[in-house]
Amino acid sequence: MSEAVISIRKADLFQEENMVLNQVNFEMNKGEFAYLIGKTGSGKSTLLKTLYGDLKLENGEGEVAGFDLKKIRHRHIHKLRRELGIVFQDFQLLTDRNALENLVFVLKATGWKNRDEMLERAREVLGRVGLQTKDYKMPHQLSGGEQQRLVIARALLNTPQIVLADEPTGNLDPEISNDITQLLHTISKEGTAVLMATHEHRLLERYPAKIFLVQNSKVEAL
């Protein structure tokens, strides 16, 4: 039996007072990969922000990683986000520390205490994304593709149920975009659900998966 990690039912999604998406029904299961497509301004970001708790769900029902989006209190949003890995187009890496210490910083911020355990976990996820020999490099010494791999490693640190990737290949050339998309598919096959917003439709053909189209205030499964 499939295990839903995201379940949105008959939901209206708002940005401030403006309803952006209405009567949204959206579901993803453990280990599933899906693309989120739609024109700029169609509501993709509104959906993603609702999923990670940046926008409150007012109407309808929604659960993400076991959290009720209507009932969750603001002070508990960090608990929801520990169950999520979030990958943005702009890397948002700490420029004053190397790849390994970028990850250790996040582990410390999310409650890890033992430095040896933090180093072990950081090196483990660096290996998972193919950066095991780059742990000493500063972000500016990494290529764009390597920086995005580091961001994905950061997203995996706390063993999330879901990775939300918002245009993760937007600033990368086609060959590197392929590598990043392939990596995200591999992560989903290892049991972590991945929702990837993208405008690169060639990736959908090269790496087929479920597609959600956002248009006309609706979210449609293709």
pLDDT tens digits, 63-78: 999 999 999 999 999 8
User: Is 91 part of any domain?
Assistant: no
C-alpha distances in Å from residue 173, one per residue of 116, 164, 166: 36, 21, 16
Q: Looking at the predicted structure, is the pLDDT value of residue 175 above 70? A: yes
Do 2 and 71 lie in one domain? The reply is yes
Helix ranges restricted to H, 83-191: 99-109, 115-128, 144-156, 174-189
Domain containing residue 189: CATH number: 3.40.50.300
Query: Which candidate, 119, 146, 118, places its Cα nearest to that of 131?
Result: 146
Q: Looking at the predicted structure, is the pLDDT value of residue 93 above 60? A: yes
Do 53 and 76 lie in one domain? The reply is yes
Residue 221 lies in domain? 1-83+160-222
Residue whose tokens read 């706390």: 158
Q: pLDDT-based confidence at 2, cuts 50/70/90?
A: low
Do 145 and 39 lie in one domain? The reply is no
Do 34 and 48 lie in one domain? The reply is yes
Mean pLDDT of 186-199: 96
User: Is 21 part of any domain?
Assistant: yes
Residue whose tokens read 């890995």: 85
User: Is 89 part of any domain?
Assistant: no
pLDDT at 1: 44
Domain count along the chain: 2
